[in-house]
Structure 1
């Protein structure tokens, strides 16, 4: 078996790799390489040549930003499968970068360069408000994805079990461990004390365990899997959606729950939050109780967990969000919710 090429920003190394894949055109030479933005999960490189610019994205056996955290090396291949699924839907495909080539041996994607785009994490800054047109575009993409690509209409299975198990650990387990190695006071003084009662509440943890099991079940809608401001790009050609490596067929309530959680943590006006929900419900069904529970657990995950955000909201606001989330989760009655399990006789949930 061939050893895996470990890409770096070194021009000579990258050029040698691209030639080995026959991805460079005759006479094409690399003029520069740079890391675009602050990628968390993968090694991402913008490559400029004397003819064009493109993106290389390679997954490793760890999280790029946190090398001590293991992650499935095959995640870029699952992302490639997502691009394949949306390729038959022009309204979805046009909102994402083009996948030009895939190197399965080295877990590398060759992607269209969207140019000098910026992600929407600026929304976490004080006073930044998402405008109506952008909100509608972001929500419409999700609604179209969830309704146009379903398990019942797709011959392709995309369980993405390993990535879901990683996400499950960081959403439903890690934030609620009393000793998880994260110094919350280093994030924001006083946050550790705020967290303590939640970490020791057995009723809360029991409800979260049930919700976590539900997340791991199979659903009917194709989800992006990590639909938050870091996956939305503001480009010269409009909004683009990136990084669907956590994709799977699941419940839309998880996806929209995550999105609403981030609008709340970005301190968006309640009017924006309600518009987001209205825009979605005009296009697709949504169980509001379940959505609220996924919103609540995502707020816990992002305020108390490893995947910290550049939040500017003060300690008091974070405590308010946690208290509201606590109320939602501890009052949850799972007997009232429909089953999440989607059965398909030809598909195994344990694939990949």
Structure 2
């Protein structure tokens, strides 16, 4: 999901500083999503790539490389790799979730079909590995291939955990680290690695990306219950309707009495939802201060991200990354 339209926008300041590199990334993405034999591949990819996403993950790679003084060409390859992995996971996610809308537009699986979305996602994953190998850096390959495996693992874990009321906050964190934070942390870490940065700085970049990704996903889960659908491109309550046990619900379930637990069993575990159930869910979230507590968690992770990046040498980009961590959580009131 995109970042809120209303607040100040550190990601735009970052985009401005990285504009030349991002143009090179976009050119490379366009070149590599072409297919001589299967025109549907660029059609499907262009629909998603052109849907106005903020390109946050590839920007993190470029920012990390620049922050560490990198002057070679391969940060562009790595940023494009990160965007291809992200786009592939979105195509697969929309099939798994049976989603009809992404970034305020119809999803690829709705416009074409599930088969096209899955296969084009597979193609983009393969393309991402081709790009990785072109850097000739085995450590970069290790980091990004591990991230790809972790993302897939997180998605599979979510399948079983999302509708099981025994899922607690530690399992939720494991899912989030897989499906969201793994790519954020890989994006920042490889920027440091390709620049040949000091191991302590590479670790700080990893820690920043990990904490930022967790904060980002927690805020996404929060916005599902209290966001503006025009700004988020999603309808309020989509996660509830899709029976996803996200952090606000996990917190409410932990404090539920017998009747409340029966409500969550019916609506989330069994999927028997009727009129007024979303409103009742919102009432229970409010009763147990689940949204307030979830926001506190998001703020705490943003603070961890800021503390990690603050250990790097002073740089204009370092300050932008600190501002970005604040901004990610400023999306929720």
Q: Same fold (TM over 0.5)?
A: no
Q: State the TM-score, normalized to the length of structure 2.
A: 0.31
- Higher-strand-fraction structure: 1
Give the number of the structure with larger relative contact order, counting CA–CA contacts within 8 Å between residues 6 or more apart. Answer: 2
Structure with greater proportional helix content? 2
